[in-house]
Chains A and B, each alone.
Chain A
Amino acid sequence: AQKVTQAQTEISVVEKEDVTLDCVYETRDTTYYLFWYKQPPSGELVFLIRRNSFDEQNEISGRYSWNFQKSTSSFNFTITASQVVDSAVYFCALSEPTGNQFYFGTGTSLTVIP
């Protein structure tokens, strides 16, 4: 069965602190895709990153970085030097090979305090 677990329900950090959002997944597929989305207070989910199961290379985009480890079935997301604009709910998701079925975690609500 496919499952995504985001154990952190809510996180609060002070501006400029680093923060890591955890994501653990379960799947029997050998080919799968992992995603992170951001949902700001406006409500619209914004795509951040996609990773396929054969690409374990970590990625950095500005203050954002992602650590994909198949050995621990984890796809963690780190925000460096957090800013107030990073306050949002962040969702990790898993997709089977066709992309028709996305499995979302329950989300982590991040609050960055100025």
Chain B
Amino acid sequence: DVKVTQSSRYLVKRTGEKVFLECVQDMDHENMFWYRQDPGLGLRLIYFSYDVKMKEKGDIPEGYSVSREKKERFSLILESASTNQTSMYLCASRGSFPTDTQYFGPGTRLTVL
């Protein structure tokens, strides 16, 4: 079974802090994704990565950056957290498309005070 893990289920940070959300997958997938989920808006893609050190912007990259130094790990970085970044963050990974789909982690609920 594919396993995608995220470093924290719940996180509380203060405005202006630098925040790191970590995601690790154990299936040697090339592709990894970060989404945020908000009520009434569904899931929106922030960034994705198709290889180590490679990244592409999604629909809402503003205020975020990412890092992929190792194949199994994809980090989402909030350089200076703001209250409007309070959300559920979901990481996903995928093998070859279309034979493989996206597998999601359990999510990190981030609250910025």
Please report whether the interface of chain B is mostly helix, strand, loop or mixed according to DSSP. strand
Q: How far is the CB of A97 from chain B (nearest CB, A)?
A: 8
Q: Which residues of chain A from 31 to 73 have any CB-CB distance to chain B below 8 Å in the complex?
A: 33, 35, 37, 42-47, 50, 52
Contact assessment for B56 and A100 in the assembled complex, using a CB-CB cutoff below 8 Å: yes
CB within 8 Å for A104 and B97 given contacts A42-B106, A45-B104, A47-B102: no
Q: Mark B57-92, 1 if CB is under 8 A from A, else 0.
A: 010000000000000000000000000000010101
Total residue contacts A-B, CB cutoff 8 A: 58
Chain B interface: which size bin? 20 to 34
Q: Closest CB of chain A to B4's CB: distance in Å?
A: 8
Given contacts A42-B106, A43-B107, A91-B42, contact A100 B101 (CB under 8 A): no
Chain A residues, CB < 8 A from B9: 43
- Within 8 Å CB of B45, what residues of A? 101-102
Q: List 30 A-B contacts (CB under 8 A).
A: A4-B42, A9-B40, A37-B104, A42-B106, A43-B88, A43-B107, A44-B104, A44-B105, A44-B106, A46-B104, A47-B101, A47-B102, A47-B103, A52-B98, A95-B97, A98-B97, A99-B31, A99-B94, A99-B98, A99-B102, A100-B56, A101-B45, A101-B58, A104-B35, A104-B43, A104-B44, A106-B40, A106-B41, A106-B42, A107-B42
Give the interface of B toward A (CB within 8 A). 9, 31, 33, 35, 40-45, 48, 50, 56, 58, 88, 90, 92, 94, 97-98, 101-107, 109
**A contact set with B: CB distance below 8 Å:** 4, 6, 9, 33, 35, 37, 42-47, 50, 52, 91, 93, 95, 98-102, 104-107
